[in-house]
Structure 1
Amino acid sequence: MSAPASSDLSAIVENIVATMAQETHRGKVASYIPGLACVPVNKFGIAIVMADGTVHLGGDALEPFSIQSISKVFALTLALGKVGDQLWRRVGREPSGNPFNSIMQLEAEHGIPRNPFINAGAIVVADVNLAGHMPREAIGEMLRFVHYLAGDESIVIEEDIARGEAETGFRNIALANYMRAFGNLHHPADLVLGCYFHQCALAMSCQQLAMAGRYLMLDGMLPGSGRVVNARRARRINALMLTCGHYDASGDFAFRVGIPGKSGVGGGILAVVPGVASIAVWSPGLNENGNSALGTRALEMLSEATGWSVFSAR
């Protein structure tokens, strides 16, 4: 899969930013999470980091936002480094077909979440990452890992966001306790949830997020730093992003965009074109499935303009 000339890509980014500025149906911010309700819905940013290291920015690409569920990609990478394929005994690899915070499937499937990108699966992943640590240590490990991936130690966890989620995340509390009852959570639910809420409260800009996704673009290699995961694992994480990264709209995202991606209710999406580009978009207004409305449209425009769909022969 080839990349357009740098000047062409700059023009594509400029066109996307201009088009998004004219959009009137921008979705609704995640008002159920304190701290996100006040984010202006008119924000839009895009960052593209190419395999050769060139960077293309547009709109509010340098403004930090709460990455929320995009953090599940980095948490999964850490957990696979700790326990390898043993993780799949506790978490599935299938699309859920249900909202990200659904509890319905857990009873029928004996406390085993469908995949690591719905909330229940991410809570199990947090349980794996907590093993052998106090919560503060596990949270610190996650933050240092993201610093390493992005090459930027200015990235922080927003404590007020994490605290707000802990105070209002009753569905996540229910999910954790339900899985604990099935024996699929090995630590006290409140400790696991503390780790989970803090990883979701990572604040990153589009540029930082696109930089952090480079290892998934380059078969597990991080430019200038070495190997993060092997090529097989990078491909499999990308596969999960494509099939499960947008909750019950994952099939529609694959149909419209055709690029592995992971969304978050902060309005961000991390997308990966293997061998070509790591992309981050942000617009806080969400569609009915909890994914960024403008971010999804922007990635569809980008895929059409560049031919970057993984299903394309271009």
Structure 2
Amino acid sequence: MDYQKILEEIHQEVLPLVDKGKVADYIPELANVDRNKFGIYLLTLDDNAYAVGDVLEKFSIQSISKVFMLALTISHLGEKVYDRVDVEPSGDPFNSLVQLEHESGIPRNPFINSGALVITDMMISSFADPRAEFLEYVRDLVGQADVFCNKKVAASEKEHGFKNAAMVNLMKSFGNIENDVDEVLDLYFEFCSIEMTCSELARAFRVFANHGRGVIDTKKYITESQFKRITAIMQTCGFYDEAGEFAFRVGLPGKSGVGGGIAAILPDKYSIVTWSPGLNKKGNSLAGMKALELFTTKTGTSIF
């Protein structure tokens, strides 16, 4: 299959959508991102790479980091992670407080903001230096050391993160946050502010496409059972309240972020990453969603 030709065709087809979405300007630092950017990067398990567009430019991965947060935490704590975070799709916006109040401070899943805040709290309780532990883990997945948090983006999120602060305080009132709320928020904002290129993110996600094992070094990051569960949560909860639409149109487990990135996998075959900062009303990349729909349609590859 001529993947390069297919990616080039997709690029041309989604160009009219690239400048139509809205950047995540509720995080002021992200309001400065050029919404005309677009990249798509495919990486196979046998180490073939295909790319079009702005695939070597760093961008804020935002909620995509929640996959790495969950993987690291579950590899350390095991199944008891799910005692404090559920695994159901939310059906509500990623920063909703309504369900959290109704369900006694237990987040619906680890990929909405409240769920990731609880995971962050677990990391603080589990690691002497969770910041260093997490960065080292992500750098290990990517296979390079120059992966960093963007301090300006993290500060911008903190300055305007009122709903996240409300969530963590609400969960604290229900006893589902063990540590200082400011410490949890600061660390969470830093994790979301990690920057990567499409190619770096594809390398990190290829580990998940390979059932939690490194492709080059064969290091085991998560067990087969943990891979199964994380992949299932990506499929059902990876796109906020648009997860069903993504499964219907694309058919790959993945995770989006309001920085405009989408990372997805076909287990045993490939990882694929798109980046286009213009978002639809649900907070997912407008051109990125369409690009991945076209990719699985043209290649006939999905989990279904």
TM-score range, shorter chain: over 0.9
Pick from 81, 92, 99: which aligns with 1:87? 81
Q: Could you tell me which residue of structure 2 aligns to residue 298 of structure 1?
A: 291
Distance 1:254 1:47 in 2: 20
Q: Could you tell me which residue of structure 2 aligns to residue 252 of structure 1?
A: 245
Unaligned runs of at least 5 residues, structure 2: none
Residue 3 of structure 2 aligns to a residue whose secondary structure is helix
Residue 156 of structure 1 aligns to a residue whose secondary structure is coil
Pick from 198, 203, 208: which aligns with 1:206? 198
Q: Could you tell me which residue of structure 1 aligns to residue 125 of structure 2?
A: 131
Distance 2:119 2:87 in 1: 13
Are positions 1:109 and 2:124 aligned together? no
Pick from 6, 19, 36: which aligns with 1:12? 6
Residue 131 of structure 1 aligns to a residue whose secondary structure is helix
Are positions 1:175 and 2:167 aligned together? yes
Residues 33-48 of structure 1 mapped to structure 2, 5 A cutoff: 33-48=27-42
Deviations 1:111-169 (A, max 9, x none): 000000000000000011111546xx211211111110001111111000001111110
Question: Is the Cα–Cα contact under 8 Å of residues 262 and 271 in structure 1 kept in the other structure?
Answer: yes
Residue 42 of structure 1 aligns to a residue whose secondary structure is coil
Letter paired with 2:272 = I
Letter paired with 2:105 = G
Distance 1:264 1:152 in 2: 22
Shift of 1:22: 3.4
Question: TM-score scaled to structure 1, two decimals?
Answer: 0.94
Are positions 1:309 and 2:302 aligned together? yes
Pick from 59, 70, 87: which aligns with 2:53? 59
Distance 1:65 1:20 in 2: 20
Are positions 1:76 and 2:77 aligned together? no
Letter paired with 1:193 = L
Question: TM-score scaled to structure 2, two decimals?
Answer: 0.97
Letter paired with 1:83 = L
Question: Is the Cα–Cα contact under 8 Å of residues 20 and 294 in structure 1 kept in the other structure?
Answer: yes
Shift of 1:234: 1.1
Letter paired with 1:172 = N
Q: Relative to structure 1, is the Cα distance of residues 193 and 211 closer, same or farther in structure 2, using a 3 angstrom cutoff?
A: same
What is the alpha-carbon root mean square deviation over aligned residues?
1.1
Q: Could you tell me which residue of structure 2 aligns to residue 194 of structure 1?
A: 186
Residue 281 of structure 1 aligns to a residue whose secondary structure is strand
Letter paired with 1:117 = F
Deviations 1:33-53 (A, max 9, x none): 021001111100111110101
Question: Is the Cα–Cα contact under 8 Å of residues 216 and 235 in structure 1 kept in the other structure?
Answer: no
Q: Could you tell me which residue of structure 2 aligns to residue 230 of structure 1?
A: 223
Letter paired with 2:299 = T
Deviations 1:173-223 (A, max 9, x none): 000000001000010110011110000000000000000001110111111
Shift of 1:224: 2.2
Are positions 1:264 and 2:274 aligned together? no
Identical amino acids, percent of aligned pairs: 47
Shift of 1:18: 2.0
Question: Is the Cα–Cα contact under 8 Å of residues 18 and 37 in structure 2 kept in the other structure?
Answer: no
Q: Could you tell me which residue of structure 1 aligns to residue 158 of structure 2?
A: 166
Residues 280-291 of structure 1 mapped to structure 2, 5 A cutoff: 280-291=273-284
Question: Is the Cα–Cα contact under 8 Å of residues 18 and 286 in structure 2 kept in the other structure?
Answer: no
Letter paired with 1:199 = F
Q: Relative to structure 1, is the Cα distance of residues 24 and 218 closer, same or farther in structure 2, using a 3 angstrom cutoff?
A: closer
Distance 2:16 2:164 in 1: 36
Distance 1:24 1:143 in 2: 31
Q: Relative to structure 1, is the Cα distance of residues 84 and 56 closer, same or farther in structure 2, using a 3 angstrom cutoff?
A: same
Q: Relative to structure 1, is the Cα distance of residues 218 and 24 closer, same or farther in structure 2, using a 3 angstrom cutoff?
A: closer
Q: Could you tell me which residue of structure 2 aligns to residue 148 of structure 1?
A: 140
Distance 1:145 1:214 in 2: 14
